[in-house]
Amino acid sequence: MSSKAMKNCRNVISGFKAGALGLLMAAACALPSPAAADSGDDELNKYVRILHKGAPRYGVLSLGQVRLLDKSFFGDDPKYTGEVVALKEAKLLAPVEPSKVIAVALNYPNPRALKDGEIGLFSKLPSSIIATGEEIVPPPGSKALHYEGEMVLVMGERARNISEAEVADHIFGVTIGNDISERSIGTNLLNIIRGKGSDTFGPLGPWVVRGLNYDDLELTTRLNGKVVQQERTSKMLNSVKRMVSYISRYITLEPGDVIYTGTPGKTQPMKPGDVVEVQLEGAGTLRNTVGRPEP
């Protein structure tokens, strides 16, 4: 269901008093197709993209199974095809194919945080995106490859110069990201495309989740099982509404575009063989292994 349809559905719901009817309407609005609802299913707000019979397919996670859709979940009125794939047997792809990958810098308490209402922005390349389970490949000469666990916003409607009040109707949901950074290259104006946007530097997934309170979720990063980052998104210096509205003044955001919302605390270098996991409350865990540098 598109964000526009979701908005219409919310308007309908608001016309009813709290009670059984309101709950039924809310449940219907959470599904790509109201007729496909399963009683008691609490996972129908998780949207995935998998490789099925050699082709990318979109689906909804439901009780450990992926129920395939006939089109992207960004389209109008996607419908279930009746095809079901067990999650444990599914090859997960990055949940979206963004045309733009925007990242917010210094968005948690930091002595270098920008003042006077500005938001620091940079861009990673769409070619940096990899799925959970895929290998992070350090570039040649890598000396200081760092993790940066982040919540990632996924756009559901085209957004151009929108107000903060309009943002909720343009966001599809959230997923998890790891803003891999090669510190030895640096992130100044001339180096940031290599230091932040190299191939495999944008792990994303495992799925897109709707219906969470994006401004207050626990974010945790683990390196080889040890917690190395942990903070709530309520500590972000810029709210979700403010970030999206601000970015849309300068950059038109399209359905499927993603916004990495910044990382908390300090980071440290990783080495080949390390396993880095980023967990977001209610959204699962993004897990990747560090490979060996390319020659």
* pLDDT, tens digit only, all 295 positions of the chain: 444 444 444 443 333 333 333 333 343 344 444 233 333 345 568 999 999 999 999 999 999 999 999 999 998 899 999 999 999 999 999 999 999 999 999 999 987 777 777 899 999 999 999 999 999 999 999 999 999 999 999 999 999 999 999 999 999 999 999 999 999 997 788 889 999 999 999 999 999 999 999 999 999 999 999 999 999 999 999 999 999 999 999 999 999 999 999 999 999 999 999 999 999 999 999 999 999 997 7
Whether residues 243 and 116 fall in one domain: yes
* Residue 295: inside a domain: no
For residue 41, how many other CB atoms are within 10 A of its CB? Answer: 17
Whether residues 279 and 154 fall in one domain: yes
Whether residues 81 and 224 fall in one domain: no
What residue type is 188 in one-letter code? N
* Residue 119: inside a domain: yes
Q: Which of 136, 262, 132, 121 is nearest to 200 (CA)?
A: 136
pLDDT of residue 75: 81
* Structure tokens belonging to residue 176: 């998890």
Whether residues 211 and 161 fall in one domain: yes
Whether residues 25 and 45 fall in one domain: no
Q: Which of 269, 54, 69 is nearest to 180 (CA)?
A: 269
**Domain hosting residue 6, numbered range:** 1-30
pLDDT of residue 17: 36
Q: What's the pTM?
A: 0.86
* Residue 196: inside a domain: yes
3-state DSSP assignment of residue 229: strand
C-alpha–C-alpha distance, residues 84 and 234, integer Å: 37
Strands 120-124 and 129-130: unpaired
Ordered alpha helix ranges (H), the chain = 3-14, 20-29, 192-197, 240-248
Whether residues 5 and 116 fall in one domain: no
Which uninterrupted H or E stretch holds 288? Answer: strand 284-290
Whether residues 164 and 19 fall in one domain: no
**Long-range interactions of 111-117: CB distance < 8 A, separation 24+:** 113/237
* Structure tokens belonging to residue 111: 């002595």
Q: What CATH number is attached to the domain comprising 50?
A: 2.30.30.370
C-alpha–C-alpha distance, residues 9 and 17, integer Å: 15
Whether residues 106 and 25 fall in one domain: no
C-alpha–C-alpha distance, residues 155 and 174, integer Å: 9
* Structure tokens belonging to residue 203: 């792990």
Please tell me the total count of domains within the chain: 3
| Residue at a domain's end among 93, 116, 134 | 93
C-alpha–C-alpha distance, residues 168 and 96, integer Å: 19
